[in-house]
Amino acid sequence: MPADAKPIASVWTRPHHPQREQLTREQIVATAIKLLDSDGVEALSMRKLGARLGAGATSLYRHVANRDELVQLAVDDVYGELDLPASAERTQWRTTVARTAAEVRAMVLRHPWIAPELGQVGLIHIGPNATRMTAELLTQFEAAGFPADEKHEAAATLMSYVIGIATTEAAYVSLIARSGSTERAWVADHSPDFDQDADPRQLRENRFGYGLDRILDGLAARLEPGSDRAARWHGDEG
């Protein structure tokens, strides 16, 4: 096939679009997340991201308004990873809500750079994926039996706890990762009285579970028939 194969070969030797690699917003956000995961938030620069995509720095501005918006998009993309349970019936609300909390915590631990970002942007102008998660949690609390005007407070209580503890954990593990050590070795080094046989990852997990159980206990007490749930909570709080 000396002559006939030429058109087929030329498809590979000379690509159809010499320098028009068709940079898309999805790809930009995806590789930005990869860069954020591996190198942290201060290592993300437009030039570096462009280079990783085989493009110039300012090319990205055709698809993204500025660096801040890019990070916002990355945050919401990460929210899209959540595998949220469907809101179950009243008897199983605890496990459903606990599973949602664990999902959010795991998300933050997978992408530790997201924690300071949540504190910077808050929950105001976040994207559709984060909104979906909030809505899902609200229906879970609704299914649990919380009245319409209290479910927001219940959800905020749980989410504040999850964001707070996951933020602390994320800062901790990313500090250790940046130091090039493992969690176990780091703990053994920095607190010599630590039990060598204990797994610090498991301890973190247990600590998360402890607080979660306390909070769900406190919330569940509002649902018990004997409690003064009928009294709207707005009036009697400081």
Contacting residues toward DNA, per CB under 7 A: 16-23, 44-48, 50, 54-59, 61-63, 66-68
Contacts of 26 (CB under 8 A, 6+ apart): none
Measure the CA–CA gap between 43 and 35, rounded to whole angstroms: 8
Residues 217-236 that bind a copy of itself (CB under 8 A): 217-219, 221-222, 233-234
Q: How far is the CB of 5 from a copy of itself (least distance, A)?
A: 58
What would the two tokens of residue 204 be?
Answer: 């973190």
170 contact, one of a copy of itself, DNA, none, CB 5-8 Å limit per kind: a copy of itself
Residues 68-107 that bind a copy of itself (CB under 8 A): none
Measure the CA–CA gap between 137 and 130, rounded to whole angstroms: 11
Q: Which stretch binds a copy of itself (CB under 8 A): 15-23, 43-51, 85-93, 213-221?
A: 213-221
Figure out which of the listed residues 23, 30, 82, 118 binds a copy of itself, where binding follows CB under 8 A.
118
| Residue that is written with structure tokens 């860069």 in the block | 35
Residues 119-148 that bind a copy of itself (CB under 8 A): 119-125
- CA nearest neighbour of 85 among 143, 30, 163, 157: 143
CA 125 from centroid of its chain's CA atoms: 16
